[in-house]
């Protein structure tokens, strides 16, 4: 005898239990329920159409894209409500928002209006994503055109924002909508990093309200129907893995520069002031100074400039790289290295002029990228 299909209220109760096992569920009707946890409560509402769709879907095979997207929307609705109320203050919403969403036709375009301060938050996620992609391109053992294309597209959107001071545009297609959605998810992940770094409940609550606000925007049309780009999924896996699996997947910042002692030896050979400047940059980064990110990035870019100046005395960067690495077979690699150096310096300089560069992870990634540039050049000396 076949088991009876779950009722919609049972299905939703199972989802609530996954996020908040100790919470109690109090149904008010078939479309509204309250979740309570001691003195905190969250009210979750669904439309009659949503409940009817869920009831019908539960009677059918579960392995369809339709069911997956329906389940995803319900999960996100529950997760946002629980976080807004404070029942699940440590929930990783960025991880939930990456799922599904492949419902937008490739030939459909939509006008978007994104102005500050919200556009600034989205661009902060774009800059973090672009920094990770730039480093990935430079450190990859082989050329991957799709990654380079992602980096170029994200870079274009950043430049658009810097020139227009907004992300508003008519006729935006599926690809760019995906990058914008992905940048929002990266922004949430950066906020989750800040939340993890504090033990103050009121700060956590304020951060969570920002996360909820961005999440609700991501779950509105058209972004709820847009698939998360692969580059964002890889970014999350590498750099923003939740604490429960953080030890299982290498962090991006540990992949960037793992030979600190060797770099110090190379710098010492140029002069004792070089390793001291490097040490000063990291001391600033780990200090309590409110301007620590600006000071640290400024010190690191000055060190990179001095190393490049020392190596390129009497010649140009292009000639130096060609002489060091070859002008024929490795010409493409040389050009990629030049671009990496330029992007790294540009990103570090930008830290001093943009308030949305406030993530410790992002600044650390850029600084270690600069260290990789120096180690690469000095190792061949």
Spell out the domain ranges in the chain: 8-88, 110-252, 257-379
Position 361 scores a pLDDT of 63
**For residue 27, what are the β-bridge partners?**
33
Angle between helices 292-311 and 273-285 (to 10 degrees): 160
All residue ranges of the chain with pLDDT < 70 are 1-4, 27-32, 239-261, 325-362, 380-381
Q: Residue 178: what pLDDT?
A: 94
pLDDT tens for 175-231 read 999 999 999 999 999 999 889 888 898 999 999 999 999 999 998 889 988 999 999
Instruction: State both tokens at 127.
Output: 């800059």
CA distance 272 to 121: 40
Cis peptide before 117 (omega within 30 of 0): yes
As a whole number of angstroms, the distance between CA 106 and CA 174 comes to 6
247's CB contacts (< 8 A; 6+ apart) are none
Say if CB 365 and CB 135 are below 8 A apart.
yes
- Please count the other Cβ atoms lying within 10 Å of the Cβ belonging to residue 258: 10
The kind and range of the H/E element at 338 are: helix 331-351
Give yes or no for a contact between 348 and 297, defined as CB atoms under 8 angstroms apart: yes
How many Cβ atoms are within 10 Å of 268's Cβ, its own excluded?
13
Cis peptide before 222 (omega within 30 of 0): yes
pTM for the full model?
A: 0.65
Q: Any residues with CB less than 8 A from the CB of 165 and at least 6 apart, and which?
A: 115, 116, 119
What pLDDT score was predicted for residue 181? Answer: 95
> What's the confidence (pLDDT) of residue 353?
52
Instruction: Spell out the alpha helix ranges (H) of 86-200.
Output: 93-97, 118-139, 145-164, 174-197
How far, CA to CA in Å, does 338 sit from each of 295, 333, 362? Answer: 25, 9, 21
Tokens 């925007």, located at residue: 217
Tell me the two tokens of residue 117.
Answer: 């301060």
Order the strands of the 32-37 sheet from edge to edge.
24-27, 32-37, 40-45
With vertex at residue 307, the alpha carbon angle to CA 306 and CA 309, rounded to the nearest 5 degrees, is 60
The terminus-to-terminus CA distance of the chain in angstroms comes to: 76
In degrees and rounded to multiples of 5, residue 44 shows phi and psi of -120, 125
Q: Record the tokens describing residue 56, joined without a space.
A: 């019908």
pLDDT number for residue 335: 59
Rounded Cα–Cα distance for residues 114 and 126 (Å): 14
């Amino acid at each position: 005898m076949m088991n009876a299909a779950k009722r919609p209220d049972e299905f939703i109760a199972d989802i609530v239990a996954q996020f908040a096992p100790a919470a109690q569920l109090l149904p008010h009707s078939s479309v509204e329920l309250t979740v309570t946890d001691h003195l905190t409560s969250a009210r979750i509402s669904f439309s009659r159409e949503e409940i009817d769709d869920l009831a019908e879907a539960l009677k059918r095979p579960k392995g369809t894209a339709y069911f997956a997207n329906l389940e995803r929307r319900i999960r996100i609705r529950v997760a946002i409500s629980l976080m807004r109320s404070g029942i699940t203050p440590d929930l990783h919403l960025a991880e939930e928002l990456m799922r599904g969403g492949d419902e937008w036709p490739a030939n459909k375009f939509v006008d978007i209006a994104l102005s500050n301060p919200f556009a600034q938050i989205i661009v902060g996620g774009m800059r973090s994503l672009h920094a990770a992609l730039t480093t990935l391109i430079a450190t990859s053992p082989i050329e991957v055109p799709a990654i380079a294309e992602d980096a170029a597209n994200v870079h274009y959107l950043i430049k658009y924002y810097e020139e227009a001071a907004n992300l508003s545009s008519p006729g935006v297609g599926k690809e760019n909508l995906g990058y914008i959605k992905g940048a929002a998810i990266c922004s949430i992940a950066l906020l989750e990093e800040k939340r993890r770094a504090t033990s103050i409940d009121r700060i956590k609550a304020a951060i969570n309200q920002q996360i909820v606000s961005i999440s609700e925007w991501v779950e509105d049309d058209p972004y709820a129907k847009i698939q998360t780009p692969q580059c964002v999924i890889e970014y999350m896996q590498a750099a923003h893995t939740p604490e429960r699996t953080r030890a299982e997947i290498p962090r991006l910042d540990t992949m960037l520069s793992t030979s600190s002692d060797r770099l110090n030896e190379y710098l010492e050979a140029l002069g004792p002031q070089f390793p001291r400047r490097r040490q000063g940059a990291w001391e600033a980064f780990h200090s309590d100074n409110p301007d620590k990110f600006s000071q640290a990035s400024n010190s690191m870019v000055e060190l990179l400039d001095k190393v490049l100046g020392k190596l390129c005395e009497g010649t140009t960067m292009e000639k130096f790289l060609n002489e060091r690495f070859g002008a024929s077979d490795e010409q493409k690699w040389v050009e990629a290295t030049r671009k990496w150096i330029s992007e790294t310096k540009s990103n570090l300089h930008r830290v001093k002029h943009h308030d949305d560069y406030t993530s410790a992870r992002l600044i650390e990634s850029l600084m270690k990228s600069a260290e990789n540039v120096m180690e690469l050049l000095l190792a061949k000396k």
